[in-house]
Structures are given as structure tokens and as C-alpha cells.
Amino acid sequence: MNEKRVRTRFAPSPTGYMHVGNLRTALYAWLIARKYNGTFVLRIEDTDQERKVEGAVDLIYRTLAETGLTHDEGPDIGGDFGPYVQSERMAAGIYMKYAEELIEKGFAYRCFCTKERLDELHKECEEHHLQTKYDRKCLNLTKEEIQKNLDAGVPYVIRQKMPDTGVTGFHDEVYGDIEVENSTMDDLILIKSDGYPTYNFANVIDDHLMGITHVVRGSEYLISTPKYNLLYDAFGWEKPVYVHVSPVMRDAQRKLSKRDGDASYADFINKGCLKEALLNYIALLGWNPGDDREKFTLSELVEAFDISRINKSPAIFDEAKLRWLNSEYIREMSQEEFLKNAMPFIKKAVKREDVNFDVIAAGLHKRTEYFSDVIPQLDFVDELPEYTKELYISKKMKTDPENSLQALKVLKPELEAFDEWEHEKLYYKVLDIAEKSGINKKVLLWSLRVALSGKELTPGGGTDIAAIIGKAESLKRLEKGIEILSA
RNA sequence: GACCCCAUCGUCUAGUGGUUAGGACAGUGGCCUCUCACGUCACCAACGGCGGUUCGAAUCCGCCUGGGGUCGCCA
């Protein structure tokens, strides 16, 4: 085996958002580079001038930097490596030069057909249920005809000339050997009439020029790869190793798409998903380490990653499992760290400034899958939610509206006279009240918790809640509870 | 429609001729507990179908079915 340095690339088009499927492709490419001590390149494929999106390149750049999928080279942007940008390279005339070389060698030709004629052609093909294929009207133009058109400034594209017969195959590291009949291949447009290269062309030229050894991309390119290989052959270039990865699906029928929401990296981060967990999860969508491990840091992934364990079939994105994985990461945090991360979301739920969340932090911590989960858990703090007496019924705690009313009536004056308003002291106070009054402590605690929160589920017990909402508010809510139960 | 590809629990997957088909998420039930949760224990649950090959197929082959992809001067 020749020991060529591994070089991989991530080549997104700047669409203005980072799809998690694309991020997975980037991750795999990055992992392969890191695994073999290779180089990872970022290349922006922005040859479609009509689809330019403001700030899109920056978004890709930022996301990669944030997730740690950093690239190793590129144009100098003030001491740092920028991404390679195809539109900038195009300005240097790189692609046209190679296209002209192909024309000279007879692997490509100029096509002066109008879009209108091409549309007609497509329509006709569709009517006959045929694959749309260019009829090669311009393939056999004479030199004189071509020159005449050129002189007249007739717009043209440059097309790749596919072989008429035979089969072109290639080996893919995940899909195995794939063969396509040359006769079924359409003559690809290499250079558009605006002078920009198409993806099909720029991609091949740049992969070669950048010395890419492993091309990692979505399986939608599987069928066009033979065409790209024909290009490599025409130039006499060495072909890369191909690693095509299956799409990430929303369900069995549909790809995870922008339209469904929740398909972008930013959406998950905004919900309070940790980037580490998201990366860990998507790594597992279509790849596994061959053992039972499911939690990986980025460097553990580098260690464990293996191209041969990438799966062929599409994987459905299961957010429930992502939530679980994220909760695993969250639970590993210290309470301090948890509160720091959760604070932006806590602030959304609670406007009061004097609340000490430390008391219920443990409860909050344990039940949080995304950080945004704290919002519905805290919506009782500022204001007591509306509730009915049914909330006081608990089989397990043996409570009902009647004994709860009795409990609240005992609790209120006792707590009113109690001044050590701190959760632990409050707890012992309640136990004390239980003993004195003969009321079951479970009944007291349940009733207290319901009266103070108005919720079925809370991140802490009744005395914890009393501590965080404060004495005055607690007494008010006890009174309200008595009122509800007396009605 | 033509061409390419794919096919194990609901989901992510292990499995490469001989396994009680394993794990994880979800779901269900029990235990624990100042509720819920967390934790813990258990349960539920799959080889799409039909033919081959073989002493023996989830594993190999064919067909069918189902699904995905491509068929743009998009990438």
C-alpha cells in the first residue's frame, strides 16, 4: 500500500443553515482525517450565483469551529485558515482552463442550445417516460460553426461527452462495487453559460487539486460518481477513495429536511441540547463501534471510528434517543455547571430576581433532557397556576381533598409562626407538625407541595418550594389552597 | 417510467452458515422515594415474502414486495 497522507474535505454549499445530516458528513470526514493523522479541508461550494445567501459561509465556519471540527489549511485570513471558496477560485480561471483542456482532448464539447430547446427536450422525454438525455445536437458542430457562434457571442455551456458504450464502475467503501452503463449517462454540463463551473465539475477539479484522498459525501452522489471517474480518467488523475453515506431520515419516507424544522444544528442548540451530545448522537446514526458503547467524546470517536462500520441503509433521526443522550451528558455535570447552562432558560421562565434555585437545582437537574425543559418545570414560581381540588388526590400518599384541607389548616398557622425559612428547617418543622397533630407526614407534604405549586409535578418537595418562593408567597398560596378545598 | 442503491424489535443497531437472534432508546410493570423524576429490576418487541444452495440459513443466490436516490446551466 502506498502510504499517502490522508486528506479529506467537507464541501458544503452555503444555504444559510447547517443541516444535521451535513454535519454528520462533516464529522465523518473530519474523523477520517484525524484517525489517520491526515488533513481536513473546508471548501465552500458556492458556484450557484442565484442562490447566494448572506452570512451563510460564516455560519458554516462558526458551527465547525464551535463543534471542534476544525480544518487544517486554507487561505490566510489574518493568521488563521479561512475556507477555500470556489467562487474565488473561479475568478482565478481555474475551472475554465481544465474544461478547455477536456475539449481539446475530445472529452467535452461546447453546447449552444438554448434553455428553451432543452426544456422541449425534457418535456418530450418525460412524455415517453424516458430518462431525460441531451440529444447531442451540438456534439458534431463543425469548427466553422463553433467559431461563428463564438464570434457572434452566442452563450454556451461546456458538456462532458460520455462514452457511447461500455460500463463504468467504481468501488465505494461502504456500498461496495457499483456499475453504471455508459449509455444511460447524460452529457453533464461542466461549465454554465455564466462561466461558473457546476458542482459536478468544480468538485472533481478541486478534489484533485487539493489532493483529496477520501471523498466523503451523501449517497445521492453515488450514481454520478462514475461520471466523475470518467473525468479523472480523461485528465489522467488518480481517483480518490469514495465513502458515500446514507441520508438521515425524518421517517421511513422522508429525509430530515429544513421544512420539518428541527433539522438544523442551531435548532437543537437553541433548545438547550449540548453540542457534544448532538455530535455523539449523529455519529451513531449510521455508524457503530462494533461493541455496546454509545457515549463518545470527540477524541474517543477518533479512536473508535472505522469506515468499514458505516451502514448502508438510511437512519431515522430519533429525537427521543438524542434527548436521552443529552440527559446523560447533563447528569454528568456538576450542579453548578448545570445551573450555569440552564440559567438562560430559567430566566425565561422566572422573572423574579430574588429566587435561590440552588434548593431545587438537584431535582431540576435530574429531570432535564434539554435545558429548555426547565421552563415548564418552573412556571409556578412567579405565579400560582390555576388548579382544582382534584390535584390533591393521591392514592400513593393516601390524600384526598378532605384530609388535605385539614392538613393545610394545620400547616398555615404553624408556618406563619415559623421564621427559619430555610428548606431543611422547614422540612423538620413539617415532620414536627406531623407528630404534634397526628396527621400523616405524607399527607402534609403532598398537600403543601400542591398548594404551593398548583402542579402535579415539581422539581422539589413541598418544603423546597416553600423555601424558594419565600414565606409571604407561601402563606398566600396556603390560604388559596384552603379556599379551593373549602369550595 | 428508466437507471442505481437499501431491507434484523416502533427507532438506532450487533450479527458475515450452527446464537435461547445480543445491546441501547422508547413503551409497560415492580422496587426505591417528602409527589413526579432520577436510580434500579423485570417485561414487551425483529430477521418483509417466496423459491433455491446447504446436513444446517438473519447470514449465500434468484425473484417478488416495500423503501430510498438519480434523471437541473442546484449542490
Are A422 and A467 within 8 A, CB to CB? Answer: yes
Q: Which residue is nearest to nucleotide B10 (CA to C1')?
A: A318
- Is the pLDDT at A2 greater than 60, yes or no? no
**Distance between the alpha carbon (CA) of A378 and the C1' atom of B63, Å:** 60
Give me the pLDDT at residue A3, please: 60
Of A242, A274, A319, A257, the C-alpha closest to A68 is A274
A342-351 CB burial, b ≥16 within 10 A, e <16: beebbeebbe
CA–C1' A65–B13 (A): 30
Does residue A192 approach strand B to less than 7 Å at its CB? yes
pLDDT of residue A261: 67
Split at pLDDT 50, 70, 90, the class of A126 is confident
pLDDT tens for A240-279 read 999 999 999 999 889 988 776 678 999 999 999 999 999 9
Average pLDDT of chain A? 93
Percent of all residues in chain A with a pLDDT value above 70, rounded to a whole number = 99
Is the shortest CB-to-strand distance from A417 to strand B under 7 Å? no
Q: pLDDT tens for residues A376-420?
A: 999 999 999 999 988 998 877 888 888 999 999 999 999 999 999
Average pLDDT over residues A448-459: 92
Chain A window 333-372, residues with Cβ within 7 A of nucleic strand B: 363, 366-367
Residue A14's nearest nucleotide, by CA–C1', is B75
Separation CA A136–CA A162 (nearest Å): 10
Q: What is the pLDDT of residue A1?
A: 42
What is the CA A199 to C1' B4 distance in angstroms? 20
Which residue type occupies A137? K
What is the Cα–Cα distance from A211 to A140, expressed in whole angstroms? 35
CA of A246 to C1' of B58 (A): 22
A248: cell is: 438521515
Does any strand B atom come closer than 7 Å to the Cβ of A458?
yes
Calculate mean pLDDT across residues A36-54: 93
Q: Which of A98-112, A224-238, A272-286, A442-456 has the lowest mean pLDDT?
A: A442-456
Give tens-digit pLDDT for A212-225: 999 999 999 999 99
